[in-house]
Structure 1
């Protein structure tokens, strides 16, 4: 009986001790009190830093910074160029025009593939390989924008955690916005700024939408299509889409149990390429396999690009292609500017909403409504010219 009383007393003592410890040592899941700022924090310094961040450098200051290899100046200039604010247009054009004589000295590589093919992981492995060769690499990663919220994750830097720390690499994520073709609205101008900043290898990662990514082909020298095993066969050869534009097809994720499947896919795509007409440059597209994890096959990709450059620069097709691209982007810029001018016209903005409602209620046809707005825009331009 005494033994039972003794054990019962011990049990009560243990429970009391446990409850006491629980109160003094709360669970790690509980919210902890915030850390108060140290007393040495200077409110004056905070204000000065905030003012500095709000300061807008002049166009000449941005250009000087870019030519000196200043990444901050480059980033601010890209933000300026990407702006849709009409007040920024003249300044952005001034920066681009000043950088043009220092551009066009890089190799531009477009990399595309369906979502999940491993573009970001491949680019990190490929980029690290290039920087190990002494190259300066700029990665322009285009992220898809939501058609509902118009937002974009811009998370490519997260996946390239090693490359982003490389002093010879620069990663700039941009939202695609309403631009089709797998690129952002101002990717072409961004290439010019990166080249002027001293980057000799520009990699453009597209959004990865499959057969419709064509705009990127008109701004790069070499177009690389990433594939994975089990994603197609010779039937792909009759799809006159993205495969027809590819200068090389690389089967990614060729590691572990997937090596045999990747080599089989390589043979399938190699047969599919024979169904395409010959390229004007005389280049015959290559197929290969690689692993972004083990880095197996990564050097071969660069060897293929070097072979391409050797051939196309010798027969002058490299430079002819760039001339054609410059002409293409002249017309694209005209179209973009006309569109912006149209929607920024005050009279158009006043008429747009009621005209949309009239179209939705079948009071007027979409074609007649469009013509009506265009007529108003034309009248505005004529009146503006007369007033000058």
Structure 2
């Protein structure tokens, strides 16, 4: 919001300010002074997170998601101090086509999981607009019952251009939620179809939500998200849709049998359920517990966690290098010049990129 001066030369940033050149209304309370917001220290953040304070946890996640350079150092320190308290949860990724009822399904099964004595964290990733870069973040609106459960924490986050159905800092958010004492974490992806694979690198189990009529056996055997699923649930199996859901279950079960055995040695199961009538949910959760017991016994659970830790080490390195590259003063000074040369066809994009990287890294590529 722009700052405007009133007739006394005072600046205002309130909604009462009108266009420049128009006489401003008088200040209602001339003695009012905006209170300076207290900036929490890292110790205060840690005390709140470890105590399970939802307000402090939300503020810490906002700090971690911030793009401001001045927030980066403190965010990294909070993450590092939360790491010893993390890793003691079950991480479940939930994806599906738009309209499959992911939010309704999570509310139904989440309420059941919370009633079993678990502390549940729901990380809902909302797609960001390619034009305005904004997000609705309306998943909590759909979860009217779950949002009032004291054992449940729901955090919507924008995808902000990140690929793979997750947000930029979903991995770090998981660590903070685990440190706050949440032992079950649901990650609801944006729901864009076959490309949602990044979430698979940060969860213990991957659940694919489908609806009847979403495809036949040929659609089911397509590589991509289907072969990554540890479980498939056919949602909206109620009323006159029950028979179609049973047919879809048969299609997907047949398709899964054509895939090679996964590394976990677990053959994915297919269930039908209704989030509205709350049917089939207990069978799905029993299947989740069976999967966790099976993978814990054969060692896959821990191997998967180790592989994910290695993957995210390289992802962190890539992100840090990318951020440092674009903030480099010499790169920033030259990149505009190179853009003009590429647009004028005086230099190919490949050559321009290589020269910039050579200048940045010195002897790279030689």
TM > 0.5 = yes
Provide the residue aligned with 1:352 in structure 2: 335
Q: C-alpha separation between the residues in 2 aligned to 1:100 and 1:170?
A: 19
Structure 1's 43 and 121: CA in aligned 2 closer, same or farther, altered over 3 A?
farther
Q: Once the 2 structures are TM-superposed, how far is the Cα of residue 256 of structure 1 from its aligned partner?
A: 1.2
| TM superposition shift of 1:380 | 12
Q: Which runs of 5+ in 1 are unaligned?
A: 1-40, 382-388
Aligned partners of 1:112 and 1:224 also within 8 Å: yes
Q: Is the 8 A contact 2:221 2:256 kept in 1?
A: no
Write out aligned runs for 1:330-345 (5 A): 330-345=313-328
1:123-149 Cα distance to aligned partner (Å, 9 max, x none): 111111111111111000011111121
| Separation in structure 1 between the aligned mates of residue 256 and residue 50 of structure 2, nearest angstrom | 42
Secondary structure of the corresponding residue to residue 127 of structure 1: helix
Partner of residue 111, structure 2? 128
Aligned pair count? 337
Partner of 2:45, secondary structure, is helix
Question: What TM-score comes out, normalization by structure 2 length?
Answer: 0.89
| Secondary structure at the counterpart of residue 88 of structure 2 | coil
Q: Residue 199 of structure 1: SS of its match in structure 2?
A: coil
Separation in structure 1 between the aligned mates of residue 345 and residue 49 of structure 2, nearest angstrom: 53
Alignment-derived partner of residue 367 in structure 1? 350
Is the CA contact 2:220–2:251 (under 8 Å) kept in the aligned structure 1? no
Q: CA 1:378/1:292 → structure 2, altered by over 3 Å: closer, same or farther?
A: same
Distance between the aligned counterparts of 1:317 and 1:226, measured in 2? 23
Aligned-residue offset at 1:103? 0.7
Higher helix proportion: 1
Which of structures 1 and 2 has the bigger CA Rg? Answer: 1
Q: Which residue is 1:233 aligned to?
A: 216
Give the aligned partner of residue 325 of structure 1.
308
Establish whether residue 157 from structure 1 lines up as the match of residue 140 from structure 2: yes
Structure 2: gaps of 5 or more residues: 1-27
1:1-388 matched pairs, under 5 angstroms: 50-51=35-36, 54-378=37-361
User: Secondary structure, in 3 states, of the residue corresponding to 1:138?
Assistant: strand
Q: Distance in 1 between matches of 2:177 and 2:284?
A: 23
Q: Secondary structure at the residue paired with 2:270?
A: strand
TM-score normalised according to structure 1 size: 0.84
SS in 1 for 2:187: strand
Query: Does the aligned pair in 2 maintain the 1:237–1:275 contact within 8 Å?
Result: no
Map of 1:33 onto structure 2 = none
